[in-house]
Amino acid sequence: MTIIASADGSALGNPGPAGWAWYVDDDCWAAGGWPHATNNQGELTAVLELFRATAHLDEDLHVLCDSQYVINSVTKWMPGWKKKGWRKADGKPVMNVEILKEIDEALAGRRYRFEWVKGHANHPMNEAADARARAASEAFQNRSPVPTGPGWTRDGAPARAAAPTTSAPAASAQASPAPEASAPVATQPDLFSFDELGDIDDGLSPEGTEWRELTLTLSVDEHARLLGRARDHGVSPEEFLRSLI
């Protein structure tokens, strides 16, 4: 049997009040967050908490994720980072390394695969995870109770709500051993994965293709308008920007 679950993150302002969530169905999901973190930290933590919630099961895990940064980090870049002492090709420390190390440990002995799905494109499970991650980030923004969900409730497991995190995850780099990663799914970086733009040098570009890095600084209002316009067009923010070129 294969467990199919969606994982997503949210950050208001990026960085700002942030949330994460994984979702199987309306009776089986969890969420949490921080007063201040990045969207990538939320995306990574959603995956980590999903693997932790299913650690007691001997079943394949099929993870739906709209972040190519997360998919490539876990399935493609991480083995090379570990060999280099958790440093990138340019010698700089890997961002969000503490979460990545925990994911690395959580993957040991697990059977899993990642599938990229387009965000804000009416994919039911992705939309459900996104809504719960955003609700968590808004709760931290408004200083209201965080909707943490019932936790894992399948296979007779007792319902257990995820505890909301109150401090942002660290982004420093340290080395640690880890298992082999599965084959990569995504082949192109997410333009809004601000933490890891430099990783397009880690073998990501197809042969014969030249990439140019773009760092874009937006105000909170500009970022919100961009997300809204992309959502209205049913595409990701980077796809919306590319359509303007």
Q: Residue 8 catalytic?
A: yes
Annotated active-site residue in 13, 19, 66, 104: 66
Give burial (CB, 10 Å; 0-12/13-18/19+) of 173: buried
Annotated active-site residue in 9, 13, 119, 151: 9
Annotated active-site residue in 13, 16, 19, 43: 43
Annotated active-site residue in 120, 151, 202, 238: 120
Q: Residue 104 catalytic?
A: no
Sign of CA dihedral 96, 240, 64, 20: positive
Flag whether 58 is marked binding: no
Flag whether 43 is marked binding: yes
Q: Give the whole-angstrom CA distance, residue 24 versus residue 8.
A: 12
Annotated active-site residue in 8, 102, 104, 202: 8
Backbone angles phi, psi at 164, to 5 degrees: -65, 135
**Is-cis flag, bond preceding 15, omega within 30?**
yes
Q: Residue 130 catalytic?
A: yes
Flag whether 202 is marked binding: no
Work out the number of other CB atoms within 10 angstroms of the CB of residue 58.
Answer: 9
Flag whether 195 is marked binding: no
Q: Report the chain's terminal Cα–Cα distance, integer Å.
A: 45
Residue ranges of the annotated binding site for Mg(2+) are 8, 43, 66, 130
Residue ranges of the annotated binding site are 8, 43, 66, 130
As annotated, the active-site residues are 8-9, 43, 66, 120, 130
